């Protein structure tokens, strides 16, 4: 009985120390992909300001490009364009940011300088390949969601779905893992 009690009490320690629960960040440049209902691994891209999900070429903007990220200080994410598609936008070295709870806009974006109020550009954490955000209280959240834009098969990437009542929103997860098959031509 004493041995059984020791085994049962030791389980939470084993689970808490499990590699599945350890923060891990990609060690080399990486892309982010959104997964949700009807969105099967669409890449994150930007026009240099706003964050989108889908194919950058569908936005019909010479500044639009898929993003390549690297980790920065304070768990920030720095973004540069992935120019392998032949597009050469003028933006680079942008900082990825989520709006804070008091912001009127929920759209995720990119900034080329320090964020002054209204958003957070630090404390992004990975659990496995899933991107999450740690708020000032230390809570870790994955409040990502997508809303169809005016462009066909392009979604805006948003944060904090708890107080956004948009009917067509799709809850998504962001992963540093590309889809296992080529992205659907319809996306």
Number of domains comprising the chain: 1
Is 130 among the domain residues?
A: yes
Q: Are 84 and 45 in contact (CB under 8 A)?
A: no
Tens-digit pLDDT profile for the chain (187 aa)?
Answer: 444 333 333 333 333 333 444 456 687 899 999 999 999 999 999 999 999 999 998 988 999 999 999 998 889 999 999 877 667 899 999 999 999 877 878 999 999 865 556 678 889 999 989 999 998 888 899 999 999 998 889 999 999 866 667 778 999 999 999 998 755 555 5
Residue 142 lies in a domain: yes
Distance CA 45, CA 72 (A): 19
In a domain, 16, yes or no: no
Give Cα separations from 9 to 16, 19, 20, 38, 158 (angstroms). Answer: 12, 19, 20, 42, 41
Q: What's the residue count for the chain?
A: 187
Range of the domain at 64: 23-175
Residue 182: predicted pLDDT: 58
The 10 Å Cβ neighbour count of residue 114 is: 7
Residue 3 is assigned to a structural domain of this protein? no
Query: Residue 67 and residue 84: Cα distance in Å, rounded?
Result: 11
How far does Cα 50 stand from its chain's mean position?
A: 13
Helices of type H across the chain: 2-16
- Residue 134 is assigned to a structural domain of this protein: yes
Q: What is the CATH number of the domain that holds 44?
A: 2.80.10
Q: What is the pLDDT of residue 18?
A: 37
Token output for 85: 């598609």
């Amino acid at each position: 009985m004493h041995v059984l009690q020791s085994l049962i009490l030791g389980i939470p320690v084993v689970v808490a120390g499990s590699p599945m629960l350890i923060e891990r960040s990609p060690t080399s440049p990486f892309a982010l992909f959104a997964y949700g209902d009807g969105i099967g691994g669409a890449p994150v891209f930007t026009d240099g300001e706003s964050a989108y999900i889908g194919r950058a070429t569908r936005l019909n903007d010479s500044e639009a490009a898929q993003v390549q990220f690297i980790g920065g200080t304070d768990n920030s994410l720095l973004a540069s364009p992935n120019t392998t598609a032949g597009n050469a936008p003028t933006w680079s070295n942008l900082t990825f940011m989520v709006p804070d709870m008091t912001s009127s806009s929920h759209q995720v974006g990119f900034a080329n300088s320090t964020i002054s109020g209204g958003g957070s550009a630090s404390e992004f954490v990975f659990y496995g390949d899933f991107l999450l955000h740690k708020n000032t209280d230390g809570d870790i959240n994955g409040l990502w969601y997508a809303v169809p834009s005016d462009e066909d098969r392009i979604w805006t990437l948003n944060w904090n779905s708890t107080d956004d009542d948009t009917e067509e929103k799709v809850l998504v997860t962001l992963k540093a893992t590309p889809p296992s098959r080529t992205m659907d031509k319809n996306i």
